[in-house]
Amino acid sequence: MLRIDNLHVRAGEKEILTGVTLHVAPGEVHAIMGPNGSGKSTLVQVLAGREGYEVTAGSVTYQGRDLLALAPEERAREGVFLAFQYPVEIPGVNNAYLLKAALNAIRKHRGEPEVDAFEFLALVREKMKLMQMDESFLSRGVNEGFSGGEKKRNEILQMAVLEPTLALLDETDSGLDIDALRVVANGVNSLRRPDRAIVMVTHYQRLLDYIEPDKVHVLAGGRIAKTGDKSLALELEKRGYDWIKQEAA
């Protein structure tokens, strides 16, 4: 589904990624861990099409296509979804409006009929229930005045409505209380299907108790320094990152 090969990324003068290779097959869940500033957000943002980063070498193919050649909106319509580490507040753009516009943009691209107001509301109500979100969030500006945890929930609500093929979750678990973590994990798990894949960036082993990963990677020194299974996360919890940095050096 997703093949990242030898990806080099630079922002201005700074080399952030220096040869990331990562292959994700349909149905898989991958966790990416790593020290602060190691480039985890950079990686997922580049996958989603964020401007301001220069890819100096390497390639990314998604479902057999050159992902980097697509505009961000084209990637979204092709089923790529990024849950932001820091969801953006957009006062004046209605939350429900954005959700519906996004859903219809994707449906239109797939050649499916757009949903009308009635169908949309039914769908969103169902997903909001899943996310245990109050319907009043729909009428507010996008993330406007949302608490940190509410913003994260809203990201997963969007994901649940848009049903992406490749979901990139950037620290969706950070800032969530214990109950919210369970709710968000539920939302993510409900998306799991053999034809979909999930890449989630996290700092905490705890999330992986709820969402069982197939693989755990450590991003350090600009590349994937180590790959393992769930037990790697447990080991990191105990030992920190220094030993990996030393191993990689």
Partner 1 sequence: MSVAPALQANATLERYRTLFEERFTSGPLLEARRDALDAFLKRGFPTQRDEQWKYTSLRRLEARTFVLGEAAPVSLEPARRPWITHGGGFRLVFVNGHWAPALSSPMAQPPGVTLVTLGEWVKHEPDAVLEYLAQASHRSASALEQLNAAFFEDGLVIRLSPNARVDDPIHVVHVWTSTTRPAMAHPRVLVRAGHHSSCTLIEQYVCCGEPESFTNVVAILDLEEGAQVQHYRLQQESPKAFHIGHIDVCVRRDARYGIHDFSLGATLSRLNIRVRLQEPGAHTDLHGLLPPSGTQHLDTHTLIEHIAPHTTSTENYRGIADGRGRGVFNGKVLVHPGAQKTDAHQSSRNLLLSPTAEFNAKPELEIYADDVKCSHGATIGQLDATALFYLRSRGISEADARVLLIHAFAHAVLASVETPAVREHLEALLAARFGSTQVTS
Site residues (CB under 8 A) for partner 1? Answer: 48-52, 71-73, 75-77, 81-82, 84, 87-88, 90-93, 97-98, 100-102, 104-106, 109, 114, 141-142, 158, 162
Give the range of 33-41, 64-72, 106-114, 179-187 binding ligand ATP by CB under 6 A: 33-41
- Neighbouring CB atoms inside 10 A of 222's CB total 20
Q: Choose the contact partner of 175 out of partner 1, ligand ATP, Mg ion, none; CB within 5 to 8 A by kind.
A: none
Q: What's the closest the beta carbon of residue 55 comes to partner 1, in angstroms? A: 16
Task: Choose between 113 and 194: whose C-beta lies nearer to partner 1.
Answer: 113
Closer Cβ to ligand ATP, 17 or 142, answer by number? 17
Within residues 52-111, the interface with Mg ion by CB under 5 A covers 85
CA 212, 218, 223, 225 torsion-angle sign = negative
User: Which single residue is written with the structure tokens 């409900």?
Assistant: 190
User: DSSP assignment of 145-182, as one string?
Assistant: T--HHHHHHHHHHHHHHH--SEEEEESTTTT--HHHHH
Q: Using the rule CB under 5 A, is 158 a contact of Mg ion?
A: no
Tell me which DSSP letter residue 38 carries.
S
Binding positions for ligand ATP, 42-101, rule CB under 6 A:
42, 52, 85
36 binds ligand ATP (CB under 6 A): yes
Of residues 38 and 95, the one with the C-beta less far from Mg ion: 38
Region at 48 (left for phi over 0; alpha for psi -120 to 50; beta for the rest): alpha
* Sign of the dihedral defined by the CA atoms of residues 82, 88, 94, 96, in that order: positive
Distance separating alpha carbons of residues 119 and 166, to the nearest angstrom: 24
- Tell me which DSSP letter residue 34 carries: -
- The answer to the question of residue 42 lying near Mg ion (CB under 5 A) is no
Choice from 9, 38, 81, 164 touching ligand ATP (CB under 6 A) = 38
119 binds, among ligand ATP, Mg ion, partner 1, none (CB under 5 to 8 A by kind): none
DSSP, residue by residue, 189-209 = HHH--TT-EEEEE-S-HHHHH
Chain positions contacting ligand ATP, by CB under 6 A: 11-12, 14, 16, 34, 36-42, 52, 85
Residues that bind Mg ion (CB under 5 A): 40-41, 85
